[in-house]
């Protein structure tokens, strides 16, 4: 496993993805429904490709650093 929180699997099931991202399954479903997070549908299954999630997290981190969001909230 690498030094970040996402496993070495190619794709994660919803429960695994929510846990890896540190969000609730409900939040993940909302993001999925809104197409706000990368995912693929294979039949009735929804999978979250790990590499796409890493890129998505990197882009969100960059967005937050540009807008001044995130970080410590004391």
Q: Where are the domains of the chain?
A: 11-67
Q: How confident is the model at residue 23 (pLDDT cuts 50, 70, 90)?
A: very high
Segment 48-70 mean pLDDT: 89
Average pLDDT over residues 7-30: 94
Q: Would you state the pLDDT for residue 24? A: 98
Greater model confidence, 68 or 17: 17
The reported pLDDT for the residue numbered 43 is 95
Topology of domain 11-67 in CATH is Arc Repressor Mutant, subunit A (1.10.10)
Dihedral angle at the C-alpha atoms of 42, 47, 24, 19, nearest 10 degrees?
A: 150
Give CB contacts under 8 A, 24+ apart, made by 3-8. Answer: 4/54, 6/50, 6/53, 6/54, 7/50, 8/50
pTM above 0.85, yes or no: no
């Amino acid at each position: 496993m690498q030094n970040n929180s996402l496993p070495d699997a190619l794709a994660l099931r919803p429960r695994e993805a929510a846990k890896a991202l540190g969000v609730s399954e409900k939040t993940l479903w909302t993001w999925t429904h809104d197409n706000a997070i990368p995912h693929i549908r294979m039949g009735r299954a929804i999978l979250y490709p790990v590499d796409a999630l890493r890129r998505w997290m990197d882009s969100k981190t960059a967005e937050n650093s540009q807008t001044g969001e995130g970080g410590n909230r004391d």
